[in-house]
Amino acid sequence: MTQAQRLPVRKTKFNGDLWGTFEVYLLQEDDERIITWEPRGTFIHRRSGWAMRFDHLQFFYPNRWFVISADYGTNGLLRHCYCDITMPWQPPTRTKRQIEYIDLELDLRVMPDGSSLIQDEDEFDDAIVTMQYPDHVRDGALLALQMLIESARAWTEPFAQIPLVLPRLDFHALAPDSPEWQIAMDVITMRK
């Protein structure tokens, strides 16, 4: 049985330092977004490392200033979304099948009711100075943060694309040519 394609992810800081690496399963890729699956137990290679405790759908948007990780409980219900504010990034190419992005130290936790909490503002403020963010980087990050807060409050795009409930939590074990895969992808890509 063929499984979903695995993609390595490399997350760095603005100064080029490696934040960490991990692997995800590619679920859907088009010009607007890449959706990946990071099942619980995925090992994050960072410092001493850790294994993810929950399942995540990750939404990568080419040329946008953020990445969204939707965190699901064992019942398939959305627990929250964790939004990394990032530099705009380019999707993997046919020859370089790896997701790479630059984290800007500013994050937003979004609950399914649309409420949100800004996280790591102090790290962002420090990074502006220590990593010498240019004005356009600082401004782009803050604009992305504000847009995400407003979108979360109204639960509009990009959050409207995130399922509140998943029909299953074993996407990594499904064969992409199976009927189960198609049903699951219809839910994940909101085509149902």
Q: Quote the CA–CA distance of 93 and 7 in Å, as a whole number.
A: 12
Tell me the average pLDDT across 76-100.
Answer: 90
pLDDT tens digit sequence for 126-180: 999 999 999 999 999 999 999 999 999 999 999 999 999 998 899 888 888 888 8
| Res. 2: pLDDT tops 70 | no
Pairing of strands 34-38, 55-60: antiparallel
Res 178: pLDDT: 87
| Res. 192: pLDDT tops 60 | no
Tell me the average pLDDT across 53-66.
Answer: 95
Res 81: pLDDT: 98
The 3-state DSSP class for residue 136 equals helix
Which residue bears the tokens 């085509």?
Answer: 191
> Which band of pLDDT confidence, cut at 50, 70 and 90, is reported for residue 1?
very low
Give pTM, 2 decimals.
Answer: 0.93
Closest CA to 115 of 85, 81, 84: 81
Contacts of 24 (CB under 8 A, 6+ apart): 6, 7, 9, 36, 37, 38, 42, 58, 99
On average, the pLDDT of the chain sits at 92
Tell me the average pLDDT across 5-32.
Answer: 93
Residue range 6-188 forms a domain whose CATH class is mainly beta
Pairing of strands 78-86, 99-110: antiparallel
Closest CA to 59 of 144, 163, 155: 163
**More reliable by pLDDT, 168 or 91:** 168
Ranges 16-20, 135-139, 156-160, 181-185: which has the least confidence: 181-185
> Which band of pLDDT confidence, cut at 50, 70 and 90, is reported for residue 191?
low
Residue 27 φ then ψ, to 5°: -105, -40
Q: What is the DSSP string of 156-175?
A: -TTGGGS-SB-S-S-GGGS-
3-state secondary structure 72-117: ECCCCEEEEEEEEEECCCCCCCCCCCCEEEEEEEEEEEECCCCCEE
Ranges 34-43, 47-56, 78-87, 148-157: which has the least confidence: 47-56
Name the β-bridge partners of 151: none
